[in-house]
Structure 1
């Protein structure tokens, strides 16, 4: 007999591979009958709500583990930079484990999850603001743009891992490098398409 936790884990893996998976497909992925799945979760929406709660809890745990509040309160550039790298590294695992939740329409409309996510986003906004003040992040970029950029990069992580575009071990460094230095080439290195 599979536990609720085992069913949730299997459902998350299935939805990461196919976000449109039906209850029948989710039951098959979990190794249980559809009736058993329905005994745990009356509907697909109930299951998605449980998965969304787990994903949001992980987001909060990643913020806690990175120590973003203490780093922000310290104002110390080295401490902020270390916390930023720890947060982005944790987000790689989060995007790999809970990638479907980043863009699932149902999960992103559950009122309690929206409220919880808004609180976590504000916590990150305060952290990014402290990073800007300390010179860890550019002061000329709107802080919400920074937050949205991190979110967009999490989707890039998810898609790159899903398609196998990059090796899993390379993703944290790629993410941090892209976020901190961008994707542009050195001045004068832009390929003009051979028009010179």
Structure 2
């Protein structure tokens, strides 16, 4: 049962990345099942979208937490967290289109708590780097946070549009973020 639900969510992510207006019928056709099978697991399209968002947030939280734990060096931690956000953002690019860059605060409470924990770790990293002079300390943390998300969004747009070579997007976006916050390697 869980396997079928996960396959439906994965197919939905695929279909919505191709066309954010994809219908339940299109998703069912992609899977080679009928619409009723999807409705056994999801009440309606909105419920399916919420499950996709929840899955994305859960996956993002795990990836960001793993990135944070990947190094003891704060610069490497921020870079790994940026890479995680970029990777998940590209995989779930339809979410930004459908949810119009909401704060994702409406996600399940347990996942929101995980999100807050990851967010708090990220904020502590940035604050620590500001105190040590690696990042411009005149920039409010909220500004740096929005730059981080905004540059990830721009990278996703560049990847989706094909305007920038895919193998250049990661470095261009990371260099843009570092430059925008005045990050220097010590």
Distance change (3 Å), C-alpha of 1:163 and 1:57: same
Matched, 1:83 2:77: yes
Answer whether contact 1:16 1:100 (CA < 8 A) is retained: yes
From the CA coordinates, give the structure whose radius of gyration is larger.
Answer: 1
| Corresponding residue number in structure 2 for 1:189 | none
Distance change (3 Å), C-alpha of 1:68 and 1:140: farther
Corresponding pairs, count = 175
| Corresponding residue number in structure 1 for 2:106 | 110
Summarize the alignment of residues 61-80 of structure 1 with structure 2, pairs less than 5 Å apart.
Answer: 61-67=62-68, 71=72, 79-80=73-74
Q: Which runs of 5+ in 2 are unaligned?
A: 181-186
Q: Give CA-to-partner distance per residue, 1:35-80, whole Å, 9 cap, x none.
A: 1111121211221121111111122112212226985xxxxxxx11
Q: Give CA-to-partner distance per residue, 1:113-155, whole Å, 9 cap, x none.
A: 6844455433322222122222232111111111011111121
Cα distance in structure 1, aligned partners of 2:146 and 2:16: 23
Summarize the alignment of residues 5-154 of structure 1 with structure 2, pairs less than 5 Å apart.
Answer: 5-67=6-68, 71=72, 79-105=73-99, 108=104, 110-112=106-108, 115-116=112-113, 117-154=115-152
TM-score (norm 2): 0.80
TM-score (norm 1): 0.77
Q: Which runs of 5+ in 1 are unaligned?
A: 72-78, 183-196
Query: What is the alpha-carbon root mean square deviation over aligned residues?
Result: 2.7
